[in-house]
Amino acid sequence: MGIISSMSSTEIGKKFSKIITVTLNPTIDRIVEVPGLTIGDHQVGRTTTRSCGGKGVNISRVLDAMGTCSTMTGFFGADNLAIFSAAASKNITTEFVVVPGSTRENITIVDTQTHIDTHIRDVGLEVTAADVQKMRELLERCCGAGVIVAFAGSIPPGLSPDDFANLVQLCIDARSSVVVDTSGEALRAVIDKKLWGLKPNTIELQEIVGAKLETLDEQLAAAGKLTTNIENVLFSCGAAGAYWITPTQTLHASLDLGDTPLPVRNTVGCGDTLLGVFLTGIFNGASHDEILAAAVGTASASAAHQVTAAFDPQLAATLKSKTQISSRNS
């Protein structure tokens, strides 16, 4: 691994005691393989996996795989709560706000001949003002100094962008360190808040600035401007790796596989893996270089795994060793 910078764990600057993941619009992720998918035709498919998901749920599962404890919360449908309850483990504590009905089910159709994935996303369960109040009370009870709160994923029907912003502000006011990974109106509603962290991709950066960002320099400039009020920006770039941008430095991690391509099986949840491993490194006080290399290497291993936000630990370690780190002043 090519290490250029050498930032110590003390430079991360905070000690953390707890991680809470908030999935306001969870999902059951179903992957169906259809060889030679033809739109409008009658074809035979095979369900290969069906698991609880949603970005915050995925992050908790990644934290679990890394041996890091978290509390997983959000709005979950009463009719299929069992699949989310099964995610509880020695590293995952669940705090459900239960909503009548069934949690939505998202479907990924994998064409095994063309290796093209098609993603179909449901809108989710509608929540009421009473449900939102229950979430406020839960967060008020759980938040405090030394707590990382990760709001990840879309917002459900019935919860407005202003409602979302108010939940985020509640955690900030409680002195928690809030990281957000969302998009659209929900993202725009919190972009001016004093966040501890933000994980945008290129599309989300464009949503923030309201314009196309054609070049990497334009994208990095937009991400850098966010650090006026956001301590850490984790900018994910797909196959090009990720950038960790703070007010004083920009680190870049990219995978160097030489002439050996990585077999890609499922890209859904790779960003969640990136953020989950990033938070594990932060929580454990690792160096910046170590954190970013592990995050990018493990996210790449996730792309090679069929199950969303899952990975082979041995492959993740190998890919981490092949991740190059470079830095420059912000």
pLDDT digits (tens, 9 = 90+) for 141-199: 999 999 999 999 999 999 999 999 999 999 999 999 999 999 999 999 999 999 999 99
Pairing of strands 116-120, 105-111: antiparallel
pLDDT band at residue 14 using 50, 70 and 90 as cut-offs: low
What per-residue confidence (pLDDT) applies to 313?
93
Span 203-211, average pLDDT: 96
What is the sign of the dihedral through the CA atoms of 300, 301, 302 and 303?
positive
209 contact partners, CB below 8 Å, separation of at least 6: 222
Q: Has residue 4 got a pLDDT over 90?
A: no
What per-residue confidence (pLDDT) applies to 6?
35
What per-residue confidence (pLDDT) applies to 7?
37
What per-residue confidence (pLDDT) applies to 140?
97
Residue 94: enclosing H or E segment and its boundaries? Answer: strand 92-99
pLDDT band at residue 2 using 50, 70 and 90 as cut-offs: very low
Selection from 325, 323, 297, 322 nearest residue 312 by Cα? 297
Q: Has residue 57 got a pLDDT over 70?
A: yes
Q: Has residue 11 got a pLDDT over 50?
A: no
Selection from 267, 248, 245 nearest residue 199 by Cα? 245
Instruction: Extract the tokens encoding 179.
Output: 């990281």
What per-residue confidence (pLDDT) applies to 262?
81
In this predicted model, what pLDDT tens digit does every residue of 249-301 receive, in sequence order? 999 999 888 777 787 777 778 999 999 999 999 999 999 999 999 999 999 99
Alpha carbon distance 168, 193 (integer Å): 9
Mean per-residue pLDDT over the chain, rounded? 91
In this predicted model, what pLDDT tens digit does every residue of 120-147 receive, in sequence order? 999 999 999 999 999 999 999 999 999 9
288 contact partners, CB below 8 Å, separation of at least 6: 5, 7, 11, 12, 244, 249, 251
Span 14-20, average pLDDT: 89
CB 181 within 8 A of CB 152: yes
The more confidently predicted of residues 307 and 72 is 72
What is the b/e burial string over 204-237, where b = at least 16 CB atoms within 10 angstroms of the residue's CB? bbbbbbeeebeeeebbbebbbebbeebbbbbbbb
Share of the chain above pLDDT 70, in %: 95
Domains of the chain: 9-329 (3.40.1190.20)
What per-residue confidence (pLDDT) applies to 272?
96
In this predicted model, what pLDDT tens digit does every residue of 171-182 receive, in sequence order? 999 999 999 999
Span 317-323, average pLDDT: 94
0.75 cut: is pTM over it? yes
Alpha carbon distance 328, 330 (integer Å): 6
- Beta-carbon count within 10 A of 44 CB: 7
What per-residue confidence (pLDDT) applies to 21?
98
What per-residue confidence (pLDDT) applies to 297?
94
What per-residue confidence (pLDDT) applies to 137?
98
Span 91-104, average pLDDT: 96
What per-residue confidence (pLDDT) applies to 263?
79
What per-residue confidence (pLDDT) applies to 269?
84
